[in-house]
Amino acid sequence: MKIRVTQENLSAALSAVSRVASGRSALPILSNILIHTEDKALYLTATNLEIAIKARVGGKVEKSGRLAIPARLLNDFVSSLPRGELMLEQTKKHALKVTAEHHESTINGADPEEFPSIPDEVPGETLSLDGAKLKEALQQTIMAASADEARQVLTGVFLHSEGVESYVVATDSYRLAEKKLDAGKVEMAHNVPASAMQEVLRNLDNNEEKVMLNLSENQAVFTLGTVVIISRLIDGKYPDYKQIIPKSAEATAEIEKEELISIVRVAGLFARESAGSVVVRVSEEDQKISVEAIASQTGENMSTAEAKVTGEGEASLNSRYLLDALQAMDSNKVEFQLSGKHSPCVIRPIGTKDYTHLVMPLKS
């Protein structure tokens, strides 16, 4: 192996792939990054067996090769080097020599033949998605996915279609977020682990272009420019969530988003001992929304804001879930719907039905 690359290109590719390489894996080879060449191009690949990320690096391959080098050291090292040209060479059996101005380093690696092989594509349909829209959809839904591995189906972000519409959905059964995705006419019912979607989101940061999504029955391949993210899919039937979205509301309030965030945040401080529970009330007579926290030991808090209200209603809600939902809204004003103490509260940006966020009521 003999390759010329710039520190900037190599560092960018390392930051794209290295997070999935873990030193805590039972398989030591997975703490490495595979540095490999294909058709005179340089690639980096890392995997934790659930997710794999492969990045193409701009550079000049003078001699092809294949090395597995510890991810953490390589990433820290390259990001600490000054900008400019680097020479990557294989020395000894599995070692990488990196030469830069003022620096000459050799990093010992592992046998690259132990590295699992990663498919570049999977048999199945390939969709083209708008990168900016996918990014927004993930930002607005991913927080609602469950972290509890006991019910694995809820740890995913569900991509599915219904007629001509397609949706991105996540729920942990305490809250639910659904965003419409303009994916064109497709057939989808694919449940992608939220951890893989986090990597997609992270790599969408500086990439607003098209995302190619290749779906098979048990794998998804996202292609974002020079970065390819391959993930397994989660088995099992996703809950029929549409039925729990209320069709109508007993009470509706329109309110400035930032103001509601502020009062929910303050009330949440007083709700620590009651696991975040606050009571939200809307009143048509007062044209106000109020958020109240009562904590027997800590004290009590009542915050109010003006709102355009129709109907009367109240519900006990988790203040952290409310904050997550409000912070995901992309509008200045939000619509807040209550339908009795036992129905979910619905939050939407004003003026669109593309994004729906549900927060389930707490027993009070």
Residues that bind a second copy (CB under 8 A): 70, 73, 76-77, 80-82, 95, 102-108, 259, 262-263, 265-266, 269-270, 272, 297-305
Q: Least separation, in Å, of the C-beta of 269 and a second copy? A: 5
Query: The tokens of 108 are what?
Result: 């010992």
CB neighbour list of residue 160: distance below 8 Å, 6 or more residues apart: 166, 167, 169, 188, 189, 190, 238
- Cβ distance to a second copy smaller for residue 121 or 259: 259
Alpha-carbon dihedral sign for residues 147, 153, 159, 162: negative
Identify the helix (H) or strand (E) that includes residue 168.
strand 165-171
- φ/ψ of 157, rounded to 5, equals -105, 120
- Cβ distance to a second copy smaller for residue 221 or 263: 263
**Nearest partner of 29 among 59, 52, 4, judged by Cα:** 52
- Cβ distance to a second copy smaller for residue 80 or 352: 80
- Cβ distance to a second copy smaller for residue 217 or 258: 258
- Cβ distance to a second copy smaller for residue 105 or 128: 105
- Cβ distance to a second copy smaller for residue 81 or 118: 81
Question: Chain-centre distance of CA 192, in angstroms?
Answer: 10
- Cβ distance to a second copy smaller for residue 276 or 344: 276
Q: Least separation, in Å, of the C-beta of 363 and a second copy? A: 25
Quote the strand ranges of 11-73, DSSP E: 32-38, 41-47, 51-57, 60-63, 66-70
Classify each residue of 270-284 as buried b or exposed e, where b means 16 or more C-beta atoms within 10 Å of its C-beta.
bbeebebbbbbbbbb
Identify the helix (H) or strand (E) that includes residue 232.
strand 227-232
Distances (CA, A) of 292 to 112, 268, 300: 59, 9, 8
Q: Least separation, in Å, of the C-beta of 288 and a second copy? A: 10
Q: Least separation, in Å, of the C-beta of 31 and a second copy? A: 12
Q: Least separation, in Å, of the C-beta of 4 and a second copy? A: 19
Q: Least separation, in Å, of the C-beta of 276 and a second copy? A: 14
**Nearest partner of 345 among 252, 274, 214, judged by Cα:** 252
Q: Least separation, in Å, of the C-beta of 138 and a second copy? A: 28
What gap in Å lies between CA 66 and CA 94, rounded to an integer? Answer: 9
Q: Angle at Cα 6 formed by Cα 5 and Cα 8, nearest 5°? A: 135
- Cβ distance to a second copy smaller for residue 109 or 349: 109
